[in-house]
Structures are given as C-alpha cells and as structure tokens.
Amino acid sequence: MPSGNKGGGDGLLNTCEHCCTRVEDLTVKLGSNVILSRVNLHVNCGEVVGVVGPNGAGKTTLLRTLMGEMPYQGKISFRVGGNPSQTPQIGYVPQKLHLEKGAPVSVADLVASAVTRRPVWAGIDGSTAGRVKEVLSLFSAEHLVKRKIGDLSGGELQRVLLAIAMTPAPDLLLLDEPAGGVDAKGLALFYRIVRGLRQTHDISVILVTHDLAGIYSYVDKMVLLNRGVIAEGAPQEVLADGKLVEVFGAALWNISCLPDIVKDKGKGGDNAD
Amino acid sequence: MPIDFWYKLVNTLPFEWAHYVFMENALLAVLLVTPLFALMGTMVVSNRMVFFTDVLGHSALTGIAIGVLLGFQDPVLPMLLLAVLLSVGVNLLKNMTRASMDTVLGVLFAFIVALGIVILSRRGGFAKYTGYLIGDILTVTPAQIGWLLAIAAAVMVYWLAAGNAMIFTSISSSLARSRKVNTFWVETSFTLLLALVVILSIRLAGILIINSLLVLPAAAARNISRNMRAYTAWAVLISLFSGISGLIVSFYWGTASGATIVLFAAACYSVSALFGAGRNR
C-alpha cells in the first residue's frame, strides 16, 4: 500500500506550507543525559510518518515531548485547519498500560470514560452504550465490549486504545510501539486501520516503532532516529540508505520480509569492512 | 434532631443490642463509614496504594505524639497536618522519580512509627495510647458522625466529578494527560481525601486495622467483578455486610468491633477468591 503523493510531499516539505507538526532543533535532556539532540521533523497534514530506531533511541521521549510532558529546548509548532495552534487535540496510544490482569475495568468502561463525563462506576446508560459500540465498530472491536481490558490480546488492546485515541477525533495521532506483543496478522490489521483513518479524518499520524519491516509499506515517510535524525524520506529511500545498517546493526538482515535493496546494501557494507 | 429519630427507629428492633445508645451510634457510624471506606478502597487497590494507606494510618501515632509534645488537647489537628504533609510529599516524589515507591514507603513507615513510639513511650507512658491502636467504634459521638457525613459528601462529589478521570489516570498517566486530564490534581486531591478519611476515622477503626477495612472489601470485590460498576457495588455491599455483622457479633462476643469487622471482611475475601478462581477456570 505505497502512498500516492510522494513527489508532491517532498516538494511541500521544503516550504512546509502544509506542515501540521513542525519540530525544529529539538533537544531533550534528562539531567546531564542527552536523550534527543537537535531533532528536526516536519509532518505534513494527512501524512503517516514512521519513526524507527533501536531501543533507547529516544522514540518514546519524542512522543512525550510532543505531548508537552517533557521540558525541551528548540521549537515545536502545530497547525490545525491551516492556523497555528498551541493546543492541538492529540490522540495517544500508549505502549503499555499500568494494569494488572484481573483489574475490573471492561472495554466498555474505558471507552465510555472517553465519550461521556458521566461516571462509569454508576453504570453505563443506554445512549452511552450505543455510542461505545459505534466507536468500537469503527475499529473492528465491537465484540470486545464486555471483556476486561486485562484479558485482551495485544492486537485487541491496540484497537481498543486506538478507538479511544480517536474519540474525540484528534488533529495529531501518536502511536507508541504498536508492534509490542501483537502477532503479524493483528499488526497488519492495525496498520491498515491507521492507514484508513487518513481517508475519513483530517489527521496526521506519528508512529514510533522498532518494527522496520512491518511499517514500511504503510507509511508515507520514514524517519530513522537514534537520539538525532539519522535519515528521513520516503520509506524506500531510507531503507536504501546505508545508515540504516549502521543504526540497526547485523540484526537487520535476519528480517526476511525486508525489501532486497536493504539486504544488498547491508551485505555490501559488510564486505567493504 | 435527626439523630433522635434514628435512636427511636433502632429501638423498635427486637434485639438486645438495639437498646443501647452506644450501639445505635456505632451502627450509624458503620452505615456511613463502611461504604466510604469501600469507595476509597476501590481506588487504593486499583492504584496500588495499599502500602501508602498503611503508612498514612500509622502516621496517626506520630501525629498524636507531636500533639502531645506541643500540648494539644485533641490530637486531630496535628494528625491531620502530618497526614496531609505525607500525602503531598509522597505524591510529589512519585511524580518526580516515576520509580517504585516500595522501598521509600518502607523506610518512611519505619521512621514514622519509630518516632511516634519513642515520643509516646517517654517515662513509660505508652499504655495511655493503646486505644488508638485498636480503635473503638462504640465511643463514637453524634458530632463525629456529623464530621463523617461531611467527608462522605465530599467523597461523593469527587467520585461524581473525577470518576472517569481516575480510571485513565490509574491505567496510564500519559494517556490521561493526552485526554487533558490534570493527573497531578486528580492524584493529589484523592490522596488528600484519603488522609482526611483515614485520620478522622482512626479513633473508630484503629491504627492497626484501618488499612484492612479500606482494602479488604475492594480486594474481595475485584475477585468477582468484570467492570467498574460491579466492582464499586460489590465493594460497598461487602463492606456494609462485614460492618453490620462484625458490629453485632462483637457485641455478643465482647470483642473489639473493628477487628471483628475485619474478620468478616477477610471471610468475604476468601469466599470471593474461591468463587473467582472457579469462574476463571
């Protein structure tokens, strides 16, 4: 499912008229530890951007900084509907929840908490229940409504969390490692749904993952992050870049579903050494 | 006085215990405090704050000690101040470090209990304060019941206003913040309410067992609930049942009411654990 507007996208990127999220010279430190260094990132409206990098590359920190949770140096600006915005609506799908297996929180409880202020401990009324089902059905999850959150499989949980992140519809959707604990089939379904959101919503998506092989056919742009931006561009370009191998190391060409171009590049680099 | 109406009502019951004013007061206090404890307990258990509430309960000892040192007649004020200080302090620390609070709380617990005992045991005077350890719900006064009613109202308002925000806050603070929930305020106001509830009922429930009264009904409800409504409803029911049964049985057995109530709640926990295990199989 390659994107259709790659050429146009690159042209717009230079002028950045269509940037919905723009990160300039972003540095994030935790004590004396530099987690992100001079990161520049432009996300166009309606674009799905994959940020890939090894563990500890600062991916989650990037998302938390965009959400306003971390102090930073540099500039972050958002545009909503063509106008600058300080507080865009952000949808966020966390990597994991702070939740024990037996916790008595049902899928309906969580989604109802997102659609109404009426407290769910007092029960979910009919009209809320209807809206909960409606929201879940958009993400192939309506059958999960009575299940406990802790009993869901990785893929099911991701879809429920996505349904919540999309309610109300955000301007920017942030996905943190959706591949964790999700099987290949569930992941493909999840990426397809995310990709489909672009048709129905005016939304940009930043997807953070180490699952290079899984996302490359679903994103418009790929950013290789390892504390700083190592490479960025159309997925094919980034995959063809020799730096990919430097960052990910030898583990990379064990992934059988990567395009051949990467494996050739990787082996070439290896021989040269 | 509405309390006189209550006395008349209970007096019509055909039981021996129903003719004593201290039992009538105690029953009213139980009907008020046990659902309150159950509600607070559901969030204490969900947010993994069980150890924290235990520290909070034991801080009462040190609060009393500080009150004695400063010459307070009624130690409620110093107890409350210390508990509030602890709540805010621990909450700040948790937000700053994001690390496990287990060890920190353990150290705090040891320090606070030791400090309280050292001050109170000067010149061998500790025996005067053992009443606080076990608590005595039979000494409850209508004025105290009035205070409990006010806190119960405050908790109810908080539960109605912040119920859904608490769910998001407890499962992922980043997710909660992305939904524009002020997680610091949600957590801080909850711990402050918790400090109020614990300190103002410590005389009735006792330092040693107040945490069981908070935690057991919620822990039992968790075994058999599949959603928030069932969790809340079961916790309140189990707490009320244990409270009423424990109070009445303690009258006939001549035992401490608080501990008897805890035994009933523990029995409920065992039954719910068996029932829950059977259902999950």
The pTM score is 0.86
Is some CB atom of chain B closer than 8 A to the CB atom of A113? yes
The residue among B159, B164, B166, B236 with the most chain A CBs within 10 A of its CB, best to mutate, is B164
d(CA A52, CA A75): 22
The β-bridge relationship of strands A204-209 and A48-52 is: parallel
- Asked whether B250 and B209 are in contact (CB, 8 A), the reply is no
Q: What is the mean pLDDT of residues A212-233?
A: 87
Residue A127 CB neighbours (<10 A): 11
How many whole angstroms separate alpha carbon B73 and alpha carbon B64?
10
Domain boundaries, chain A: 1-89+172-183+198-273, 94-168
Top mean-pLDDT range of A71-75, A107-111, A266-270: A107-111
Mean pLDDT of B15-42: 94
Q: What is the mean pLDDT of chain B?
A: 91
- Name the more confident of B1 and A198: A198
In sequence order, the 6+-apart residues with CB closer than 8 A to the CB of A53 are: A59, A210, A224, A225, A226, A230, A247
Q: Is A34 strand, coil or helix?
A: strand
Question: Which residues of chain B have a CB within 8 Å of the CB of A123?
Answer: 229
- Whether residue B221 and residue A104 make contact (CB cut-off 8 A), yes or no, is yes
For chain A, give the mean pLDDT. 82
Q: Lowest mean pLDDT of A16-30, A108-122, B38-52, B60-74, name the range.
A: A16-30
Average pLDDT, stretch B221-238? 96
B53 Cβ contact list (under 8 Å, min separation 6) = B44, B194, B198, B210, B211, B214, B215
The whole-angstrom separation of Cα B124 and Cα A197 is 73
Whether residue B171 and residue A122 make contact (CB cut-off 8 A), yes or no, is no
What is the mean predicted confidence (pLDDT) over A208-212? 84
Question: Please, are residues B258 and B137 in contact by the beta-carbon 8 Å criterion?
Answer: yes
Q: What is the mean pLDDT of residues B72-100?
A: 86
Rounded to whole angstroms, the Cα distance separating A20 from A170 reads 12
Query: SS3 sequence, B194-241?
Result: HHHHHHHCHHHHCCCCHHHHHHHHHHHHHHHCCCHHHHHHHHHHHHHH
Q: Do you know the residue count of chain A?
A: 273
B118: CB partners within 8 A, 6+ apart: B65
Compare B1 and A119 and report the one with higher pLDDT: A119
CATH class, range A1-89+172-183+198-273: alpha beta
Q: How far apart are CA B86 and CA B84, in angstroms?
A: 5
Strands across the sheet containing A221-226: A90-93, A172-176, A204-209, A48-52, A221-226, A228-233
| Cβ contact, residue pair A110, B171, below 8 Å | yes
Tell me if the domain spanning B2-209 has CATH number 1.10.3470.10. yes
A96, two tokens: 């994991």
ipTM: 0.87
Q: What is the pLDDT of residue B278?
A: 79
Domain boundaries, chain B: 2-209
CB spacing of A67 vs B178 below 8 angstroms: yes
Structure-token match 């005992």, residue found: B117
Residue B161 has pLDDT above 90, yes or no: yes
| β pairing state of A83-85 and A221-226 | unpaired
> Which residues are registered as beta bridge partners of A225?
A229
Chain B residue closest in CA terms to A122: B229
pLDDT of residue B61: 92
